[in-house]
Structure 1
Amino acid sequence: MNVKLTDVAREAGVGYGTASRAISGRGSVDAATRDKVLAAAEKLGYRTNAMARALRENKTRTVGLIVPDIINEFYTESAAVLQNELDKSGYQVVVSTTGNDADKERRAIESMLNRQVDAVVHVPVNPQAKFPKGFKVVELNRRSDLDRPTVTSDDATGLKELAVHILDQGYRDIGIIVGPAELSTARDRKSGFFNALESEATQRGIREELRFRVIHSRYSPAGGYEAFTEFRNDLPEIIVPLSTQLTLGVLKATRENSIEIPNDLALACYGVAEWLAVWGPGITVFAPDLPAMGAAAATQVLTLLDASPPPQQQRKDSRATHCPRDNPKGLKGETHDT
């Protein structure tokens, strides 16, 4: 039997428009009426015809999410909030991964366009990655070279706090590991951290005491592992991987080389990961507010879908979570759940 929405409305004792709003989740319907309509739909076995609705509204009620991967906590946390917020407005999220590869990114974009998604939330790989003119795109975490609405972390403020903390602890020989130079996150994190160190050291009159070494690598555990090997024969006092995935690679390398953190080498990092909460003492973490970024991206997308003027770039505050400062060479203390 082909159950229609009119059948559901009749069963629930409401008008067609009320039944439509209750089932779609769009529009104002009180909770009791919505429950009554949903119960009638379940009883009759009603299923919405997504294709017919898409043709009628010229919308698929889907939003594409293009991210480097789905195992990195940086993206899973933001994506979970994004999905939850969009779901409230009746949109579903379709996910595609790029592996930080420009060719895969191009294919992911083509796939989203073929699916006729209404908009895309995009973590750019290629700074010139193209969408059709007028297509609704919000960039998340990274910025391309194109003028698009963007949600990024306020890394400069958080990394300045981290730099000050490192200098307060007495460190002067600092190794920095960051992602590929062509990505905005790598450029922003490197310049933000480096500039903060230089500025603060100059103010303190210790600029000549500082030694910086910067290594660019892939945003992956393998990238962090490989970058650490370049420091292995001349270890700095502290290594600062500016990505959770890079940090994971550094930790693997230090363990294989019997280097204890924080006794043999101090470690401060950028990122958010559940496993940092169980690592133990010795790691200082600068943690961007990923749920807030996901919520802001959802707001941007919904604004675009309502045909309002494109919103401006947003930067969400981040925070640095420090270990106690009573040991100037150890960064010992409690690793916080960030």
Structure 2
Amino acid sequence: MVKLIDVARTAGVGAGTASRALSGNGSVDRETKERVIAVAKQLGYSPDVAARALRERRTRTIGLLLPDLANEFYTASVAVLQQELSDAGYQLVIASTGNDPSTERIALQTMIDQRVEGIVHVPVDADLVLPTTVPIVQLNRQSASRQAAAASDDLAGVDELTTAIVHAGHRDIAVIVGPTGFSTSRNRLLGALRAAERAGIPQSERPLDGARLRVRHAPLTVDGGAQAVAQLFPDLPSCLIALSSRLVMGALRECGDRGIHVPESLSLAGYGDPDWFSIWRPGITTFAPNLTEMGRQAARLLLAQLAGEETGPPALIPGKVQVRGSVTGLSAG
């Protein structure tokens, strides 16, 4: 096995210089650093991370807690988050909570027991008392505790989406949204309600002068979306807004099973923008949050905390309404 001293001898430097060149800690001139790195690659040197962690009393790891590892919603955020942290010398340790509060508590404690230096966290239990021994940044959702956070400006985005739907002539609208305990559900629903109120559309189960907005809360799953549509049938709205990509998929499945054609029989708008939203024809009109920027901001907020800096209020990141063919009366041009 190639050791650090082998790299140092071949590069013609001392072991301390070689260590600083490879770790990025300490001052080494550029030419020497490049020579040491080239020699390390040539010899196939791999640093003993565990030993270095013991010496420095640092693990150089960051914990990431996600509700669902299979959810494409987080893919773009995690990719840029990982790159930003890697560039700063940190590696991610990832765990899934399954949207279960008890699993979330265990995962958090496990991360701390593993001595991660910081945590990026998509909260499940809004009232969970979070540890103060390690910097924490919340991603997408926010809990009741005051934490640094990087989240999409869903309130403004869904307001804009709903306003566009109203302007397209739809005044009988139904909204499917996630559980009430999630900040994302509350913000998305509030955006729809605010736009409807501004347009004079009441939140009601029965139409008043042909106008109403109905709300259905559902688990953020395909089955949840399907069951919400089943609850609305046969008294369908003019336009359905399903405020997660999984809810959209469930709504489409139920519509297909019942012979309801989108958009001929029912207009449909969504949230998020997975690839299949544009591949499915005639395309899903949606509010697309800026997932890459969410990941970038989460990483930078955490790195700022690790450097002892104040991070201020949550970073709310604007997204974009994508107009496609699933809502009648709307035009992309």
Q: TM-score, normalized by length of structure 1? A: 0.89
1:214, distance to aligned residue in structure 2 (A) = 0.3
- Aligned equivalents of 1:275, 1:31: Cα separation in 2: 46
How many Å apart are 1:51 and its aligned residue?
1.8
Superposed counterparts of 1:1-338, under 5 Å: 1=1, 3-4=3-4, 6-14=5-13, 16=15, 18-25=17-24, 33-201=32-200, 209-323=210-324, 329=328, 331=330
Q: Judging changes above 3 Å, is the alpha-carbon distance between structure 1 residues 26 and 331 closer, same or farther for their aligned structure 2 residues?
A: farther
Gaps of 5+ in 1: none
**Aligned partner letter, 2:69:** I
Q: Identity, % of aligned pairs?
A: 43
Structure 1 residue 251: deviation in Å? Answer: 1.2
Distance 1:328 1:131 in 2: 42
Is the 2:278–2:284 contact (alpha carbons within 8 Å) kept by the matching residues of 1?
A: no
Specify the alignment match of 2:204 in structure 1: none
SS at match of 1:146: coil
Q: Secondary structure at the match of 2:200?
A: helix
Q: Distance in 1 between matches of 2:56 and 2:281?
A: 53
CA contact (8 A) 2:169 2:329 kept: no
How big is the shift at 1:242? 0.7
Distance in 2 of aligned mates of 1:147 and 1:328: 38
d(CA) in 2 for partners of 1:18, 1:209: 77
Report if aligned partners of 1:138, 1:301 keep a CA contact under 8 Å in 2: yes
Q: Which deviations, in whole Å up to 9, do the C-alpha atoms of 1:67-110 show, x marking residues without a partner?
A: 11122121111011100111101111111111111111112112
Deviations 1:256-297 (A, max 9, x none): 222111111100111120111210215211100000000000
Aligned counterparts of 2:322 and 2:160: Cα–Cα separation in 1: 10
TM-score computed with the length of structure 2 as normaliser: 0.90
Q: 1:27 to 1:180 in 2, by over 3 A?
A: farther
Residue 224 of structure 2 aligns to a residue in which SS?
helix
Question: In 2 relative to 1, CA 333–254 (structure 1 residues): closer, same or farther, beyond 3 Å?
Answer: farther
Change (3 A) 1:26 1:252: farther
Closer, same or farther: CA 55–226 of 1 in aligned 2, 3 Å: same
Q: Distance in 2 between matches of 1:256 and 1:173?
A: 22
* Matched residue type, 2:265: D
- Give the number of equivalent residue pairs: 328
Moved more, 128-137 or 90-99: 128-137
Change (3 A) 1:269 1:41: same
**Conservation of the 8 A alpha-carbon contact between 1:238 and 1:265:** yes
Q: 1:116/1:254 Cα in 2 relative to 1: closer, same or farther (>3 Å)?
A: same
**Once superposed, what is the RMSD of the aligned Cα atoms?**
2.5
Query: Mean Cα displacement is larger for which, 281-290 or 81-90?
Result: 281-290
Paired amino acid for 1:217: A
Amino acid of the residue matched to residue 136 of structure 1? P
Q: Aligned partners of 2:32 and 2:257: how far apart in 1?
A: 62
Change (3 A) 1:310 1:161: closer
Query: Residues of 1 paired with 2:283 and 2:77: CA distance?
Result: 27
* Whole-angstrom distance in 2 between the partners of 1:244 and 1:310: 31
Q: Provide, for residues 49-68 of structure 1, a one-character-per-residue CA deviation record: whole Å limited to 9, x for no partner.
A: 21222122222111111011
Label 1:237 to 1:304 Cα distance change in 2 as closer, same or farther (>3 A).
same
Contact 2:8 2:36 in 1 (8 A): yes
